[in-house]
């Protein structure tokens, strides 16, 4: 932790955040105001949020077994540390969907962020901009597309230690200052879909990510118990993308005034499935609007679907089970990743999502062939504690954790030493018994 040991490397020295925290404690007596141990972080979130916000962030389908399977899958893969390797500079950079980014981490699309902090999505969008990491905005957001883009630009314009080294290499034609992706929930009114895509493109979101596993919310007992659907309560949040959409408002604005569920019920979680037949049309629209920028399907859990996504013209997929919130008793996302990578990893960008909590998790997902990971609950837990500061603290901690893991495990470069090198850098232990969070807390 010698701060003068900062040889120029491709990545920011994220590890120095550990020193900063130790110094602040040692010299000024200032400790972090909440634990960034993920098990403790979720627990303390319960104290900071009201029930609706807490249960919405943490609800799972059914018994929560898919959520557990996600974590178990990580537990069974073990990293092989190497000795006496020169890791004094690390390279955590990757290139994803046309953007060179300083670390392989994307802010995943999470809706209704005003539940967690008054400024909602402006908070993570700004922090993502500061860190130079891609931010993916949800159609179920509680801020407009345009305002989120501004917050992301504001973050990117802030010069700080961690973004002074990162390099953007935005795609031709995109006007994004910092990489940003738009997650689409597609309703059945094509005019509204096109309007959303046009707004996203105009605001610098240059990847379209269609979610396919959530036309309707899964059966989540902890939300059912408290009728946790904020759109149906007075003073609803989560309609902001619709309420700021000229096409939707022209058609349905009056109804939205009378029925606050109108946007969500018609355009987001409408319960009326689309099929593969619709995808070529959507890709065509996005390509026309964005002049050819990437299209990605989120929600892939089988090799057959990954191949199909490639065949219909997707540039990428997100291997995710929606963090265990949709189908209970399903496979862990990490379990299916290696087969999907084998079938399509050299043809498409593979983003992994579902259960990432630590630097070791990021390392494992990349070793198993993902090109980048998305995080979700982690940043929500952070912003639930201290808004922007909490969100930044959690992200900088994750980046430091990953950077330090690379150092101590003897791996210098994510792309050269880790990506898709599971055979060399990981071992699988099928009998690993995963401690429950309660057992874990006693350790
Ligand atoms: C929405 O994406 C949800 O999981 O609630």
The answer, yes or no, to whether any atom of ligand 1 lies below 6 A from the CB of 377, is: no
CA 374 to ligand 1 center in whole angstroms: 15
The CATH number of the structural domain formed by 16-442 is 3.20.20.70
Q: Give the strand pairing for 316-319 and 295-300.
A: parallel
Among 322, 328, 355, 377, the mutation site with the greatest number of ligand 1 atoms within 8 A of its Cβ is 322
pLDDT at 7: 63
Runs of H (alpha helix) within 29-161: 38-48, 51-58, 65-76, 122-131, 145-157
CA 112 to ligand 1 center in whole angstroms: 9
Atom of ligand 1 nearest to the CA of 322: 4
Among 269, 327, 328, the mutation site with the greatest number of ligand 1 atoms within 8 A of its Cβ is 269
pLDDT tens per residue across span 10-29: 888 999 999 999 999 999 99
pLDDT at 430 over 90: no
Q: Which helix (H) or strand (E) holds 402?
A: helix 377-409
Exposed/middle/buried for residue 184 (C-beta within 10 Å: 0-12, 13-18, 19+)? buried
Mean pLDDT of 165-174: 42
The answer, yes or no, to whether any atom of ligand 1 lies below 6 A from the CB of 414, is: no
Describe the chain by its helix, strand, coil percentages, rounded to 5: 50, 10, 40
* Catalytic site positions: 322
pLDDT at 11: 86
Place of tokens 């597609």: 186
pLDDT at 123: 98
pLDDT tens per residue across span 322-354: 999 999 999 999 999 999 999 999 999 999 999
pLDDT at 438: 59
The answer, yes or no, to whether any atom of ligand 1 lies below 6 A from the CB of 111, is: yes
CA 159 to ligand 1 center in whole angstroms: 33
The answer, yes or no, to whether any atom of ligand 1 lies below 6 A from the CB of 298, is: no
Atom of ligand 1 nearest to the CA of 56: 5
pLDDT at 433: 64
When the pLDDT of each residue in the chain is averaged and rounded to a whole number, the result is 93
CA-CA distance, 401 to 216, in Å (whole number)? 35
DSSP assignment of 307-374: HHHHHHT-SEEEE--GGGTSSTTPPPHHHHHHHHHHHHTTTSEEEEES---SHHHHHHHHHTT-SEEE
Contact 201, 145 (CB under 8 A): no
The answer, yes or no, to whether any atom of ligand 1 lies below 6 A from the CB of 322, is: yes
pLDDT at 169: 45
Query: Could you tell me the pLDDT band of residue 9, with boundaries at 50, 70 and 90?
Result: confident
pLDDT at 275 over 50: yes
Question: What does the DSSP 8-state code read for residue 112?
Answer: -
Among 217, 320, 321, 374, the mutation site with the greatest number of ligand 1 atoms within 8 A of its Cβ is 217
Residue 400 backbone dihedrals phi, psi, to 5 degrees:
-65, -40
CA angle 346, 348, 353 (to 5 degrees): 110
Runs of H (alpha helix) within 220-332: 221-224, 240-243, 246-258, 262-263, 279-290, 303-312
Note the residue count of the chain. 443
The answer, yes or no, to whether any atom of ligand 1 lies below 6 A from the CB of 220, is: no
pLDDT at 73: 96
Give the number of other CB atoms < 10 A from CB of residue 151. Answer: 23
pLDDT tens per residue across span 56-99: 999 999 999 999 999 999 999 999 999 999 999 999 999 999 99
pLDDT at 115 over 90: yes
Query: Could you tell me the pLDDT band of residue 443, with boundaries at 50, 70 and 90?
Result: very low
pLDDT at 2: 72
CA 373 to ligand 1 center in whole angstroms: 18
Contact 117, 123 (CB under 8 A): yes
- Residue whose CA is at the smallest distance from ligand 1 atom 5: 217
Query: Could you tell me the pLDDT band of residue 431, with boundaries at 50, 70 and 90?
Result: confident
Name 110's Cβ contacts closer than 8 Å, sequence gap at least 6. Answer: 124, 138, 376, 379, 380
CA 217 to ligand 1 center in whole angstroms: 7
pLDDT at 148: 98
CA 111 to ligand 1 center in whole angstroms: 7
Atom of ligand 1 nearest to the CA of 109: 2
pLDDT at 156 over 80: yes
Q: Which helix (H) or strand (E) holds 180?
A: strand 180-184
Task: Quote the pTM value.
Answer: 0.95
Residue 350 backbone dihedrals phi, psi, to 5 degrees:
-115, 115
CA 345 to ligand 1 center in whole angstroms: 27
Query: Could you tell me the pLDDT band of residue 163, with boundaries at 50, 70 and 90?
Result: very low
pLDDT at 167 over 80: no
Mean pLDDT of 272-298: 98
β partners of residue 101:
94
pLDDT at 234: 87
């Amino acid at each position: 932790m010698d701060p003068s040991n900062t040889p120029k490397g491709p990545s920011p020295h994220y590890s120095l955040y550990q020193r900063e925290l130790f110094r602040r404690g040692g010299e000024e007596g200032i400790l972090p105001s909440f634990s960034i141990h993920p098990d403790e972080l979720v627990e303390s979130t319960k104290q900071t949020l009201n029930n609706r916000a807490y249960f919405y962030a943490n609800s799972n389908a059914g018994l929560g077994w898919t959520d557990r399977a996600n974590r178990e899958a990580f537990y069974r893969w073990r990293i092989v540390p190497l000795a006496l390797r020169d890791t004094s500079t690390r390279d955590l950079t990757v290139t994803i969907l046309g953007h060179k980014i300083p670390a392989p981490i994307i802010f995943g699309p999470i809706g209704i962020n005003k539940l967690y902090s008054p400024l909602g999505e402006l908070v993570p969008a700004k922090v993502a901009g500061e860190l130079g990491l891609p931010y993916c905005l949800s159609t179920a957001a509680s801020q407009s597309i345009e305002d989120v883009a501004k917050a992301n630009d504001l973050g990117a314009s802030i010069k700080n230690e961690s973004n002074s080294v990162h390099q953007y290499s935005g795609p031709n034609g995109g006007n994004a200052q910092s990489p940003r992706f738009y997650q689409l929930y597609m309703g059945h009114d094509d005019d509204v879909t096109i309007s959303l895509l046009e707004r996203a493109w105009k605001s610098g979101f240059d990847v379209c990510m269609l979610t396919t596993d959530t036309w309707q919310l899964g059966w989540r007992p902890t939300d059912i118990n408290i009728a946790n659907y904020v759109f149906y309560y007075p003073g609803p949040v989560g309609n902001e993308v619709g309420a700021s959409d000229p096409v939707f408002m022209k058609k349905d604005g009056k109804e939205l005034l009378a029925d606050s569920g109108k946007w969500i019920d018609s355009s987001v979680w409408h319960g009326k499935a689309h099929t593969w037949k619709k995808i070529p049309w959507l890709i065509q629209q996005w390509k026309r609007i964005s002049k050819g920028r990437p299209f990605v399907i989120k929600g892939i859990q089988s090799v057959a679907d990954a191949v199909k996504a490639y065949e219909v013209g997707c540039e990428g997929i997100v291997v995710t089970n929606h963090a265990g919130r949709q189908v209970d008793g399903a496979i862990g996302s990490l379990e299916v990743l290696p087969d999907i990578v084998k079938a399509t990893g050299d043809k498409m960008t593979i983003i992994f999502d579902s259960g990432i909590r630590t630097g070791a998790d990021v390392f494992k997902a990349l070793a198993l062939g993902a090109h980048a990971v998305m995080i979700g609950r982690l940043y929500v837990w952070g912003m639930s504690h201290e808004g922007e500061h909490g969100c930044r603290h959690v992200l900088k901690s994750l980046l430091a954790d990953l950077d330090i893991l690379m150092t101590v495990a003897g791996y210098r470069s994510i792309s050269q030493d880790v990506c898709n090198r599971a055979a060399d850098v990981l071992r699988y232990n099928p009998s690993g018994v995963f401690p429950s969070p309660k057992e874990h807390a006693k350790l």
